[in-house]
Structure formats: structure tokens, C-alpha cells
């Protein structure tokens, strides 16, 4: 049933945080919980549903809010949509964080100071290549950054904790990292917010295309309704892997708002899809 896997994950995180105050133990256990959660398609659908529930027709003002927050236990859960080849600046958090790869690939790079504690002396110590489903944790002190080496958008899922994890939702303007983060030399202010809604919709479409089923189809419908023409086309392409008749109807709807020659082309494609279902 919808939402169950996410709720179950949150309950387990809550139990963990109530059972220990040792930072490394918290991070390690939440890391294991997220690894298990990300292996489940229903959990990914829950995450996308939660993100989509924060979107409305005025997408231009959407700033990718957390998909879950707990004031009392002082943590929040975020999905971050990384542009192709985007890399944030080195930084360190004031407490533990857990990061998982939901879609495509995210690399994490860990640094150490060189001869002096000046930004230019930071030296790469380790690099972790994160494939979908990979999860890692960071406890302070640890200077790190993340990079999307892929040619298309990558999506990560984060559990951010600690002072400020429940305040400063506008931290999204500073690379989405939690308040209290120390940057070397500074966050790449505002860059990741540009085009965030469209990037999120495209990423959701790519993830849903890999999880055929009614829940994905419902979400793709919502993406179709919210997105621009290219997002609509991407969502229709993903729908075609789930329900051909439904796809044909959506193509027909898209044709009515498209100029020629696209209108005729889309109508022909819709008719062709419908007749293919009648033959089969
Ligand atoms: Fe970070």
C-alpha cells in the first residue's frame, strides 16, 4: 500500500535515534536502514509521491522542500536533484549525515588539509563512486563534497541531522546542505536551484520508467499535467512501457495543445498506438 515503506523507514529511524545518542552508532544504523529501504521499489515510489505532493501548478516557486521532517528528533529527509556534471564545494557538517543514491550516480570525495588549513591546500584523500542503492554516512570532522559525473540528472536521498536540521528551509539556496555547514570556501549559491522543478520531474520520469505499475502511471500522469512539452513527452514515453491505451490518450491530449506539424505527428502516433492494441 502507498506510503507504507517510507513510514516504516521513518519509524525505524525514530527508534534508532531514541535508542542511542552516540553519533557514529546513529549514522551507522541509519545507513543500514536506508540501504535496505533503497532496495525496495515501493520505497522509491513513496519518496517520489512525497516530493510530488509538495508541487503544484506554480512550479516556478518550488524550492525542493524536505520530504519529511521531525522537529523533536531534529532530522529531515531530502531528495536532491543534481545537474549533469555538477559538483558542490568542499564542506563539513556539524553532525552525522547519511546519503544514498536513488538514481544514476553520485561520487563522494573526502579531503584532508595539506600543509596549512587554507582552502587551496585541501587534498583529495578518498573518492567513493556511488551507484544506485549505495549508501554512506559521514560523521564530523570530515571535509567532503559530492559530484554527479553522469550526463543526466542524478538523485540522492539524504538524512540530515543536528542543529538547524529543522530550521532554515531556505538553506536550499545554499546547495541544500543543512544549516551550520562550513564551506570551503563558500556554497555555490543559487546554482542548484536553477531549473530545479523541471529537473526533478525529468528525474522522477526516469525512475518511474524503471518501475512499471499503476502507482507509476498515476505519478506519470501528474508529471504530464505539471511539466512543459518536453517533460510531457518524457512522461508519455515512460507511460508507453506501462499502458499503451493510456499513452495513446495522453498523446492525443498533447496533440491538441501542439502547433503543426507536431500536432499531426502526435495524432498519427496516438492512432497507431491505439490500433496496435486493437490488433493484439
Ligand atoms: Fe555534505
List pLDDT tens digits, range 79-117: 999 999 999 889 988 889 999 999 999 999 999 998 877
The alpha carbon of 220 and the centre of ligand 1 are apart by a number of angstroms equal to 31
List pLDDT tens digits, range 202-246: 999 999 999 999 999 999 999 999 999 889 999 999 999 899 999
Contacts with 63 (C-beta within 8 Å, 6 or more apart), sequence order: 169, 170, 172, 173, 193, 196
The alpha carbon of 2 and the centre of ligand 1 are apart by a number of angstroms equal to 30
The alpha carbon of 143 and the centre of ligand 1 are apart by a number of angstroms equal to 8
253-264 mean pLDDT: 88
The alpha carbon of 91 and the centre of ligand 1 are apart by a number of angstroms equal to 6
The alpha carbon of 177 and the centre of ligand 1 are apart by a number of angstroms equal to 6
Average pLDDT, rounded, for the chain? 89
Residue 182 CB neighbours (<10 A)? 13
The alpha carbon of 219 and the centre of ligand 1 are apart by a number of angstroms equal to 29
The alpha carbon of 197 and the centre of ligand 1 are apart by a number of angstroms equal to 21
Residue 31 scores a pLDDT above 90? yes
Residue 63's pLDDT band (cuts 50, 70, 90): confident
Residue 1 scores a pLDDT above 80? no
Residue 2 scores a pLDDT above 70? no
Q: Give the ranges where the chain is alpha helix by DSSP (H).
A: 4-19, 23-38, 41-52, 196-209, 214-226, 229-239, 244-256, 262-279
List pLDDT tens digits, range 166-202: 444 544 445 567 767 888 887 776 678 889 999 999 9
The alpha carbon of 145 and the centre of ligand 1 are apart by a number of angstroms equal to 6
List pLDDT tens digits, range 34-50: 999 999 999 999 999 99
Secondary structure element (H or E) that encloses residue 102, with its range: strand 97-103
The alpha carbon of 97 and the centre of ligand 1 are apart by a number of angstroms equal to 8
List pLDDT tens digits, range 139-155: 988 999 999 999 999 99
The alpha carbon of 83 and the centre of ligand 1 are apart by a number of angstroms equal to 16
| pTM exceeding the 0.85 threshold for the entire prediction | yes
Q: What is the pLDDT of residue 117?
A: 72
Amino acid at each position: 500500500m502507498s506510503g507504507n515503506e517510507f513510514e516504516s523507514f521513518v519509524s525505524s529511524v525514530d527508534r534508532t535515534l531514541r535508542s542511542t545518542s552516540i553519533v557514529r552508532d546513529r549514522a551507522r544504523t541509519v545507513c543500514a536502514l536506508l540501504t535496505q529501504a533503497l532496495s525496495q521499489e515501493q520505497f522509491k515510489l513513496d519518496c517520489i509521491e512525497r516530493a510530488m505532493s509538495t508541487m503544484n501548478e506554480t512550479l516556478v516557486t518550488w524550492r525542493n522542500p524536505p520530504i519529511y521532517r521531525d522537529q523533536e528528533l531534529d532530522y529531515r529527509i531530502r531528495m536532491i536533484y543534481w545537474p549533469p556534471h555538477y559538483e558542490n564545494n568542499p564542506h563539513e557538517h556539524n553532525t552525522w549525515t547519511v546519503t544514498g543514491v536513488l538514481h544514476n550516480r553520485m561520487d563522494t570525495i573526502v579531503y584532508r588539509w595539506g600543509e596549512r588549513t587554507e582552502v587551496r591546500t585541501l587534498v583529495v584523500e578518498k573518492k567513493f563512486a556511488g551507484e544506485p542503492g549505495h549508501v554512506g554516512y559521514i560523521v564530523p570532522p570530515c571535509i567532503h563534497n559530492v559530484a554527479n559525473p553522469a550526463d543526466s540528472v542524478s538523485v540522492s536521498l539524504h538524512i540530515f541531522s543536528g542543529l538547524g536540521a529543522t530550521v532554515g528551509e531556505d538553506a536550499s539556496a545554499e546547495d541544500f546542505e543543512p544549516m551550520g555547514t562550513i564551506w570551503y570556501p563558500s556554497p555555490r549559491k543559487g546554482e542548484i536551484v536553477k531549473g530545479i522543478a523541471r529537473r526533478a520531474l525529468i528525474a522522477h520520469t526516469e525512475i518511474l520508467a524503471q518501475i512499471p505499475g499503476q502507482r507509476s502511471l498515476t505519478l506519470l500522469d501528474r508529471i504530464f499535467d505539471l511539466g512543459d512539452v518536453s517533460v510531457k513527452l518524457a512522461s508519455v514515453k515512460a507511460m508507453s512501457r506501462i499502458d499503451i491505451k493510456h499513452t495513446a490518450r495522453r498523446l492525443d491530449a498533447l496533440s491538441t495543445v501542439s502547433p503543426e506539424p507536431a500536432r499531426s505527428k502526435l495524432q498519427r502516433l496516438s492512432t497507431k498506438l491505439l490500433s496496435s492494441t486493437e490488433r493484439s
